Amino acid sequence: MADVAILDSRERVLAGILLTGGAYFLFSAQDAAIKLLVVGISVWQIMFFRSVTILAACAAIGGRRLFTDTARSPIVRPMLVRSAFTLAAWLCYYNAARTLQLAELTTIYYAAPIIVTVLSVFMLGEKVPLLRWLAVLIGFAGVFVACDPTHLGISAPMVLVLAAALLWGIAVVLLRKIAMQERTTIQLVLNNFYFLLFSVAPALIWWRTPDGGQLLLLASVGALGGMAQYLLFEGMKRAPVSIVAPFEYTSLVWAFALGFAIWGDVPRREVFLGAALIVAAGLLVIGNEHFRKRL
């Protein structure tokens, strides 16, 4: 029985890693769609459309019963706090993106997985082995090498990105605490209901009527964002946050791949070296978890 329990635990953690990795790919695809949209539409309007799309999908799948259960859920207030941190991270990140180059922006923001790992110790009481700390640092080194940042100095946009990383780190840790208390569909409804409340007024103030192509992109942002949130919530239920945190680095790999596919951006050699370090960090986490569970 003990062997079966260990096997189930290992498979659960690996499933959490796969789900989380898939979530970050979908988030990267969503960001690519948002990058195409922000030229003519405000971030508030994009957030509004995304929330409406996801809530409509939840209604089609879960019906009235889902919304009734959501209203009675014990995580209504905790999810409000988590959604507020996520929104704040979004606003900091996209305001900084107007000024900073992609290399600077990405490098600073990817301090987030390190912040998540540190916070998981103090807020969740998780024990983080030395190899897992090493994986996080290798992943950050990979991001640094891939972005090849130069002439970094303290500025308001940099402070905004650091704030975004900290706020997102707190949001991820809060998600881990909330994820164990309620089913994923209810978390989706609450998260996007709060985002809808936060964004409706600014979206109306800066409203621009989208054309056909923009409507298609807005629908895709909703679909990609909804699926990504679902996978992330499910992954957080299966694996400790300090294990899945390094896999946020894979977003950088997807970002460069999508940049090449959509805009024809050709990665530099530093990008390939950085990607190799990021992949190595992920494999180190998986290998360490596999070996540890077998002992």
Calculate the dihedral angle through the C-alpha atoms of 200, 205, 208, 209, rounding to the nearest 10 degrees. 60
Report the pLDDT value the prediction gives residue 278, as an integer from 0 to 100.
79
Report the pLDDT value the prediction gives residue 213, as an integer from 0 to 100.
92
Considering only residues 75 and 150, tell me which one the structure prediction assigns the higher pLDDT. 75
Mean pLDDT of 36-64: 89
289 in Cβ contact with 243 (< 8 Å): yes
pLDDT > 60? residue 183: yes
Q: b/e string for 232-259 if b means 16 or more Cβ within 10 A?
A: bbbbbbbbbbbbbbbbbbbbbbbbbbbb
Mean pLDDT of 68-88: 90
User: What Rg do the C-alpha atoms of the chain give, in angstroms?
Assistant: 19
pLDDT band for 193, please (50, 70, 90 cuts): very high
Between the CA of residue 226 and those of 16, 49, 55, 214, 279, what are the distances in Å? 17, 12, 9, 18, 26
pTM: 0.75
Average pLDDT across the chain, whole number: 81
- In DSSP notation, 128-168 reads --HHHHHHHHHHHHHHHHHH---S----HHHHHHHHHHHHH
Residue type, 57: A
Gap between the Cα atoms of 153 and 275, Å rounded: 25
Residue pLDDT, tens place only, 212-240: 999 999 999 999 988 998 898 788 778 77
pLDDT > 70? residue 151: no
Considering only residues 34 and 221, tell me which one the structure prediction assigns the higher pLDDT. 221
Gap between the Cα atoms of 93 and 134, Å rounded: 26
pLDDT band for 7, please (50, 70, 90 cuts): very low
- In DSSP notation, 263-287 reads H-----HHHHHHHHHHHHHHHHHHH
Gap between the Cα atoms of 181 and 164, Å rounded: 26
pLDDT band for 206, please (50, 70, 90 cuts): very high
pLDDT > 60? residue 276: yes
Residue with tokens 């107007």: 98
Considering only residues 291 and 125, tell me which one the structure prediction assigns the higher pLDDT. 125
Residue type, 108: I
pLDDT > 90? residue 207: yes
Calculate the dihedral angle through the C-alpha atoms of 110, 229, 219, 267, rounding to the nearest 10 degrees. 30
Mean pLDDT of 160-182: 81
Report the pLDDT value the prediction gives residue 85, as an integer from 0 to 100.
92
275 in Cβ contact with 142 (< 8 Å): yes
